[in-house]
Amino acid sequence: MEVICPRCAGLDVHKQTVVACARVAGNGPLLQEVLTFATTTSGLLALADWLESLGVEHVAMEATGVYWKPVWHVLEGHFELVLANAAHVKNVPGRKTDVNDSMWLADLLAHGLIRASFVPPAAVQELRTLTRTRKQFVRERSAHVQRIEKVLEDANLKLSVVISDILGKSGRAVLQAIIDGQTDPARLAACVSGRAKASRADLLEALRGHVNAHHRFMLKLHLGHIDALDKAVADLEREVGLGLEPFRQAAKLLSTMPGLSAVSANVVVAEIGIDMSRFATPGHLLSWACMCPRNDESAGKRRSTRLRRGGKWLKTTLVQAAWSAVKVKNSYLQAQFHRLRARRGAKKAIIAVAASMLTAAWHMLRDGTEWHDLGAAHFDRADAQKTANRLIRRLQQIGYSVQVTPA
């Protein structure tokens, strides 16, 4: 097999050590050296010096948790780095050792058999960390809100029945009164603003419960966590605003797409970056985001087309944005959703809409253009004869004789 990278190395990265195999092919016999280095900064610098002394030009490593990142940061700029998906470079079972893994990576890299994973620039990586942390904090806040509702139900207070947001202005006032020791339903109902839709009788009935010291302690504990999370999310949003400065124009373009709010556009930029040359086609981007059907065929039969696991940060954001986009009337995305839902169901239809949004994002970021909606009648215009035949068949199925005359 042809050697693509004659001077290369494979790294088997762990938490405390990294096993390096340098592979140098020349006119003489093949040279392979294996050494183990510590993952401390001094150890990684020694690894870089050792690789440079052997004339190594390409280095491959597996994406093992977060342990590959410090190795990448030290070696970046000195070598041509390749990050491999561990599932794509598995060795023969029963031959797995740290030394064999490093040698296997070096051999695969030498023959050009490793498909490099997408590693965004440092600025995009930092923005990605901020947006992901923000999403985690928002999820934690939602969990604490659910726990507060659970405590209220335990005390037989039906606050969520009469108030839509138990952490809104009225709900927060009622919770604070309960924490302060108030149990009189009339006093608690007085904390609810006049904008509430529930009647006073319903409020009094919903706020009549059995509150004890344990309930007050738990409510105070959860509200304290929610306040801390709100402050953390506000700090993160300020930091995201600063980190987004080089990419603000790209995020602004994406936000012109229906369903993509400013927050969602920031997440998309943080996940895929703005350099679309890293993905040869929109299909490559969809495959990387795990938003296209898998290939699972044997003996001429397709066994499964389920989406691959992965891409949870980008995929969940796009699906959430797709549900908002299909509510925009007379839009292309809404027409696509209703067209597919009739044949394949809502779940597959919404995934298709999310994939269309990511495809559009690829073109928008590559060309620097805003969203241009094709309209709800796009599919009818694309194949008018097919639409006419479908409608004629439907009329015939319900008992009509149809005679078509062109207008």
Q: pLDDT by residue (tens digit) across 264-290?
A: 999 999 999 999 999 999 999 999 999
Q: Residue range 245-259: average pLDDT?
A: 93
pLDDT, position 378: 86
Q: Quote the mean pLDDT of the chain.
A: 91
pLDDT, position 194: 76
Radius of gyration of the chain (CA): 29
Contacts 24+ apart (CB under 8 A), 40-48: 41/70, 41/74, 43/18, 44/18, 44/70, 44/71, 44/74, 44/75, 45/74, 47/18, 47/20, 47/71, 47/74, 47/75, 48/74, 48/75, 48/78
pLDDT, position 294: 80
Q: Which two tokens stand for residue 376?
A: 């709800």
Label the pairing between strands 80-84 and 58-62: parallel
Q: Which two tokens stand for residue 362?
A: 């690829």
Confidence check: pLDDT of 407 > 80: no
For residues 223 and 148, the answer to whether their CB atoms sit within 8 Å is yes
Q: Which two tokens stand for residue 349?
A: 């239809």
Lowest pLDDT segment from 162-171, 305-314, 323-332: 305-314
Q: Residue range 16-36: average pLDDT?
A: 90
d(CA 156, CA 127): 44
Confidence check: pLDDT of 22 > 80: yes
- Give the DSSP letter string of 142-161: HHHHHHHHHHHHHTT--HHH
Predicted confidence band of residue 9 (pLDDT cuts 50, 70, 90): very high
Q: Residue range 92-103: average pLDDT?
A: 84
pLDDT, position 198: 82
- Give the DSSP letter string of 70-117: HHHHHHBTTBEEEEEPGGGS---TT---HHHHHHHHHHHHHTT--PBP
CB count in 10 Å sphere of residue 367: 10
pLDDT, position 384: 80
* Percentage of the chain modeled with pLDDT above 70: 100
d(CA 282, CA 268): 14
Secondary structure of residue 21 in the 3-state scheme = strand
Predicted confidence band of residue 180 (pLDDT cuts 50, 70, 90): very high
pTM: 0.84
Q: Residue range 227-252: average pLDDT?
A: 94
pLDDT, position 90: 83
* Percentage of the chain modeled with pLDDT above 90: 64
Confidence check: pLDDT of 45 > 90: yes
Q: Which of 241, 250, 298 has its CA nearest to residue 272? A: 250
Predicted confidence band of residue 76 (pLDDT cuts 50, 70, 90): very high
